[in-house]
Chains A and B, each alone.
Chain A
Amino acid sequence: MEDERSFSDICGGRLALQRRYYSPSCREFCLRCPRLSLRSLTAVTCTVWLAAYGLFTLCENSMILSAAIFITLLGLLGYLHFVKIDQETLLIIDSLGIQMTSSYASGKESTTFIEMGKVKDIVINEAIYMQKVIYYLCILLKDPVEPHGIAQVVPVFQSAKPRLDCLIEVYRSCQEILAHQKATSTSP
């Protein structure tokens, strides 16, 4: 069963949340960020090339212009491959664990898996980020030494940064699965 809704992120950009219910114990949430816009791309390219042309008129060295072209191309490729995340996915399987996938604009995908034995809870936390206070979803990991302690905090949807309404949807679905998992794990 698939479900798609649109939300907005903390800066006001549009996000699309796609929820897939594979079974009562397995769900997937897919957040799609807006693609690299032509406007920002042309703005950055024009700024860099104008600056390079300004330097060229000062120095009369034509290497600056070709260097500017190279820098723009390499910078764009590096940005698409290492920085720009197109889609972030959170897959929860009841008895197995939680998997987070980030797909970059160049096609690269990076995946993190946390097994269910380590997961204490999934909560919505507030923290100061730059000059704002934002809500973000995070996974709390159990402390092997202390039964009620928290060893680590793993934030989810780091680059999409959705707002509270989107986070509440994901939080409720995750809590259903965690409650289901606690019920089945405590029963003999």
Chain B
Amino acid sequence: GSAVLFLVHSAPGKMVENSLLPGRAIYDFVLLLSSQSGFILYLVWAFIPESWLNSLGLTYWPQKHWTVALPLHLLITIVIGYVLLFRINMMSTPSLNSICTITDNYAKNQQPKKYQEVAIPALRVISTSEVNQMLFLAAKDLYTKN
């Protein structure tokens, strides 16, 4: 509900905004109701003793052990997820002596394009040797100042 109001305030000039459609408001309200009732149900499961729930007739609950275990598992999963993601990124970066840093299949298989006088030259991958010569041999003072 509050998210919808914020979007409406931030762009008053737009004609038809996604948040102004009635469909969105209904989804938002359903989500609000379900998340609040889910939270109240979780609190009931965690705090009210077994005997009172059994006397009401509701006997088929999971063990109370899980009221503490599930949030803890979730928290640890999130923390490990951060570490794992970082580690996977580090491992999938090519090392300094891999050929991926110089060329790849696209660059090897590209067709030589015809040079046209007036038009802008077509996009293509220039080899590392040429780039190095242009950057470091030709322009003598460009990089030595730092």
**Which residues of A line the B interface, CB within 8 A?**
120-121, 123-130, 136, 138, 140, 149-150, 152-155, 158, 164-165, 168, 171-172, 175
Contacts and interface: CB of A to CB of B under 8 A. Distances in A.
A121 B101 contact: no
B102 interface: yes
Nearest to A171: B136
Contacts of B133: 175
A152 B99 contact: yes
A128 B128 CA distance: 16
A123 B129 contact: yes
A124 B132 contact: yes
B100 to A, nearest CB: 9
B143 A158 contact: no
A136 B96 contact: yes
B18 interface: no
Interface in B104-146: 108, 128-129, 132-133, 136-137, 143-144, 146
Interface residues on B, range: 20 to 34
Nearest to B96: A155
Contact of A155 (B90, B97, B129, B137): B97
A85 B98 CA distance: 23
B137 A175 contact: yes
Given A121-B129, A140-B128, A168-B144, 16 more contacts: A123-B129, A125-B101, A126-B101, A129-B96, A152-B99, A153-B97, A153-B98, A154-B97, A155-B96, A158-B96, A164-B146, A165-B146, A168-B136, A171-B132, A171-B136, A175-B137
Contacts of A153: 96-99, 101-102
B93 interface: yes
B65 to A, nearest CB: 33
A115 B89 CA distance: 36
B142 to A, nearest CB: 10
B71 interface: no
15 contacts: A121-B129, A123-B129, A125-B102, A126-B101, A128-B93, A130-B90, A140-B102, A140-B129, A150-B103, A152-B97, A153-B97, A153-B102, A165-B146, A175-B133, A175-B137
B94 interface: yes
B129 to A, nearest CB: 5
Nearest to B129: A121
Nearest to A140: B102
Nearest to A149: B108
A165 B96 contact: no
Contacts of A127: 94, 96, 101
Contacts of A129: 96
